[in-house]
Structure 1
């Protein structure tokens, strides 16, 4: 009995000693208990705990703990989504889970406070100083006016473009275009020669770069005072280099190889003439365009130039199929004698004259309202916008009572149902009457009930899984979602649940004479009280020189008041 008691006492003493050992530090707790406890810490505290002691550093930087914290605090971040897919972002080195979590935590710390971690500037070609290299397409002569206050309603296009973390801009050194990878901070040559050319617009989307340009030398004289220049569009496939990569064109596979997965392949796809005669370099002849991986759409508005001055403008809308790569360059063949078969390159698949535009209610006449064009797999969408405070020579004679936005959708080929969606907003500083207003609406997904807000229900409706914030078929309600504020531009990283919004209002309030423009960050996953954070006032001047911002959860890119590209890194 005595021996038995001694044994039991010895076991009890051993257990007590073990408990005392466990009580020394909570990092010595069983792994599942430790991981459960640290989920109650904020991401900032979790990183700070690494500095308490060597034991804490080892515990909080372990692979298991770091991955848990990353997925717990930032499940929608780019890094967490990449880990979930079992791959890593192309062109990036392999990082430890501890370094990855620290980087993402730092990013969202700056994002939620709307404080840049780093600001980078790039000098680029500007129209005011390099008119021999760039002449942008003028926006409509419409601006906002309320009492004695004025504001820009539609900005001119920047000389640069950006998509998927790749910035393409004209260098001030030689006027040639450069591709800048914001992730690796490496620069690459764009095989577009600006020699003898004047660029009208550049746009990067769907892994395709399109440069719209004209010849510097006139091609034809319209009258005693005006000449036209042959105008073209040149397309390039843009993609990251991989061991075996091919052209994004769906009609031809061009195998490329590279040992450097952080490089970019930019290679010529095709070139086509966008006007049979040419366009003048002036502020009256205008065109809007958009493109996808397979199609290019163009709307042209030109004054009639009748000697009596009483005819309506000339308008047309055309769509090209640009799926077929072609080595033929019409700019090098003025007579067209070397033109190949139309099926072997870009070809027009739909053209609407002013008569067809009149029939479907899209003819603009002397008070145009078109804001932009958009494409999806099967349709083209025309976005229009009217405002109660519009002024200028091209503003409506009978302005609407509300700020109105609308979208008209047409099939790319053939005849089919016409989609029509319209929305209006009115209200005051405290409320908006737009049925789709609210920042969360810009990051939510479409469902079957979304169709109830539309004027017409047709087969053009997207599938339930299509994100409504990026589907072009909806009227651009984001412009008036905080009426009377006007949303000038916004950047949506839908997958990350992050949105950067730039809004402006010149309404006079009770205790102030002017409401300054503002830029704010909206993080869907943040607490309600911290869901919106405002940048410092000076950031408007740093980013909104051209009224547009681009980017994702990692950075925001815009142009400052001096014409330099501003890259705000978080």
Structure 2
């Protein structure tokens, strides 16, 4: 009597299955009922996850359970479902084809949504122009939590909704938009910050420009439910997902400007926040003959303990409580002080974004710490009233960090783009350090829980630390990388590059959205994680292909996954990797890149901004609606 493969001892059977790619292992479940039972065993799926996807979010969580000996969590998890999900995800990432596309309609009302005007700078060369700054989106995403906050088109009752990217569940954010204009929304470090102003202007005299009181309202948010949103529990119905919801609680409110700001195209403000601090920088142009330069101000708030006091309901400030609760200003600087720190913008502002250290609170000392960072950018082809009269040779990015409190020292990371166009003028790119193997000792199994104390988390934070100049912006000069999603822990990078003058270099001039760090479709991922093999890690020559053939290495690269044929309804559509135009490979500056279909640019890059992680990618289409790509 012949011995079936499933009758072999477990160690031999698992060794055979581990030699298949993840896609092949999933397809083998269709052979028979016995194969399906054998291939969906929890212990086997745990081994396959560790072998194929150790750096994925689920793989890191699994390694944490193993390292800490959390047997209960291992028993509760549906690891067969996790492995199937990961195989699906990296199959679609490897082909740059989303598994599912979700469209989310967004409110379009200038009376209630009026963003902050970007600098008047653009790129210009030989009569051609291209954007250098974009308007901020009216939505925001917390990628790690998988939460989208956006203004929903609900008629007169329009408000902000929070949508869970995993389940599609939506809850209302307790922010009343009536009589208010939302200027910007941002979610970070467990805090949702809504910057807004009153629709009614303050009375002015002598024909001065009307100003509006501006405020920033902060909410904390948390997940409600027993499921953490990463590892599904066992015992659920086939095809069903455990449900949970979200709760928002008012944290505090700050007055952005002591007098108010005009809602115009002349006045700008930038801001950033983390779990404990909020920073806002305002820039107001010269309006009177006795003002030589724009008026600039940097204000740093500390949240303190939660407070119910709302300055928007008390314009005179008479009801402000005397206790120490609520936010308070720990530092305020104007023109002269900003000049001393070399972050004053003057008439040729170059500021692109502000950021804070992830932790700016020293609990042991009970005081603020860390830095606020100013990232500035200048380009050789920049034009417009706010452009510098002394442009750099090519493309310059610079990050300056100043302490939240105290007098120094100042941090500066400056990449001026020296060298020739045909040379790799910047070697400081964090992704290039990864490709060249400078992080070889970071992918061990001693971490993975995402805690701040884990070595892997510490390394990931070092790669995304805001104090580093964004050298990725000029990775592939003369392309400009408009936006990137860099999931350092998973080793996945999604980049969106554009160039307006490539006729002299290539006939293929379309802008592109590409994925780096994922192997070819169907290929087996190495035990080192979801990253390129050592062959593709080696530095390749800087060549560009007008077009490239679809990758087909590995087996069954065009086969559909068992979880891929999911029924969709409403505004969701399923991706079809065998018919989509995505998946073409090109040779980028750091090796192989997998390119999305050309039409994906208009679906994602209307605001020049994408965000997400290994699980999803979020952008805005040309109609102003949110596009969610789920892998």
Note whether the superposition's TM-score is higher than 0.5.
yes
Q: 2-side partners of 1:347 and 1:52: how far apart?
A: 65
Distance 2:125 2:465 in 1: 32
Cα gap change, 1:435/1:222 in structure 2, threshold over 3 Å: closer, same or farther? farther
Structure 1: tracts of 5 or more residues without a match: 1-20, 246-259, 448-462
Question: Highest CA radius of gyration, 1 or 2?
Answer: 1
When residues 201 and 511 of structure 1 are mapped into structure 2, their CA distance, relative to the original with a 3 A threshold, is closer
Tell me how far 1:510 sits from its aligned partner: 4.2
Q: Contact (CA 8 Å) 1:441, 1:469: kept in 2 or not?
A: no
Worse overlay, 523-532 or 296-305 = 523-532
SS in 1 for 2:462: coil
Of 29, 33, 46, which residue of structure 1 is paired with 2:25?
Answer: 46
**Post-superposition offset of 1:444:** 9.8
**Which moves more between the two structures, 30-39 or 110-119?**
30-39
- Relative to the length of structure 1, the TM-score reads 0.85
List aligned pairs for 1:512-523, cutoff 5 A: 512=506, 515-523=509-517
Is the CA contact 2:128–2:500 (under 8 Å) kept in the aligned structure 1? yes
The answer as to 2:466 corresponding to 1:472 is yes
Could you tell me how far apart the structure 2 residues matched to 1:291 and 1:207 are?
10
Q: What is the CA distance between 1:403 and its match in structure 2?
A: 0.7
Secondary structure of 2:461's aligned partner: coil
C-alpha distance 342-369 of structure 1, shift in aligned 2 (>3 A): farther
Deviations 1:393-451 (A, max 9, x none): 1101111112111111111112221111101225677542012237344799998xxxx
What CA distance in whole angstroms lies between the structure 2 residues aligned with 1:446 and 1:341? 53
Q: Distance in 1 between matches of 2:595 and 2:215?
A: 42
Q: Secondary structure at the match of 1:106?
A: helix
- Counterpart-to-counterpart distance in 2, 1:238 and 1:53: 46
- What is the deviation of 1:140? 0.3
Structure 1 SS opposite 2:167:
coil
Q: Does 1:493 align with 2:448?
A: no
Match runs of 1:296-375 below 5 Å: 296-307=278-289, 311-341=292-322, 343-375=324-356
CA contact (8 A) 1:445 1:466 kept: no
Partner residue, 1:6: none
**1:428/1:521 Cα in 2 relative to 1: closer, same or farther (>3 Å)?**
farther
Identify the residue that residue 161 of structure 1 maps to in structure 2. 140
Q: Which residue of 2 aligns with 1:228?
A: 211
Deviation at 1:165, TM superposition (A): 0.6
1:343 shift after superposition? 2.7
Q: Check conservation: 1:405, 1:424, Cα contact below 8 A.
A: yes
**What's the offset of the Cα at 1:483?**
1.6
Alpha-carbon deviation of 1:465? 4.3
5 Å matches for 1:175-186? 175-186=158-169
Instruction: Go from structure 1 to structure 2 and tell me whether the alpha carbon gap of 1:125 and 1:329 turns closer, same or farther (over 3 Å shift).
Output: same
Does 2:124 match 1:172? no
Paired position in structure 2 for 1:198: 181
- Asked if residue 433 in structure 1 is aligned to residue 412 in structure 2, the reply is no
Separation in structure 2 between the aligned mates of residue 340 and residue 441 of structure 1, nearest angstrom: 51
**Bigger Cα displacement from structure 2, 507-516 vs 197-206:** 507-516
Q: Distance in 2 between matches of 1:140 and 1:234?
A: 25
After TM superposition, give the deviation of residue 555 of structure 1 in Å: 0.8
What aligned pairs does 1:414-429 form with structure 2 within 5 A after superposition?
Answer: 414-425=406-417
Structure 1 residue 536, shift from structure 2 partner? 0.5
2:627 to 552, 566, 570: 566
Closer, same or farther: CA 442–371 of 1 in aligned 2, 3 Å: farther
Higher relative contact order (CA 8 A, sep 6+): 2
Deviation at 1:385, TM superposition (A): 0.7
Q: For residues 285 and 444 of structure 1, do their structure 2 counterparts lie closer, same or farther at Cα, with a shift above 3 Å needed?
A: farther
In structure 1, how many angstroms separate the alpha carbons of the residues matched to 2:76 and 2:630? 21
Structure 2: which 5+ runs fail to align? 229-241, 361-369, 440-456, 518-529, 537-584, 586-591
Partner Cα distance (2:484, 2:106) in 1: 22
TM-score by length of 2: 0.77
Out of 512, 523, 531, the residue aligned to residue 525 of structure 1 is 531
Match of 1:139 in 2: 118
CA distance in 1, matches of 2:381, 2:431: 24
**2:208, 2:508 → 1: CA distance?**
44
Q: 1:54, 1:363 → 2: CA distance?
A: 69
Secondary structure class of the residue paired with 1:269:
strand
CA contact (8 A) 2:167 2:243 kept: no
Taking the aligned partners of 1:484 and 1:100, their CA distance within structure 2 comes to: 41
- Pairwise CA distance, 1:234: 0.4
The alpha carbon displacement at 1:511 in A equals 6.4
Matched pairs, number: 512
Do the aligned partners of 2:147 and 2:163 also contact (CA within 8 Å) in 1? yes
Correspondent of 2:8 among 24, 29, 32: 29
Matched residues in 2 for 1:24 and 1:166: separation?
Answer: 50
Deviation of 1:521 (Å): 0.9
Deviation of 1:73 (Å):
0.7
Is the counterpart of residue 403 in structure 1 residue 382 in structure 2? no
Q: Distance in 2 between matches of 1:275 and 1:131?
A: 22
Question: Do 1:489 and 1:501's aligned partners in 2 also have CA atoms closer than 8 Å?
Answer: yes
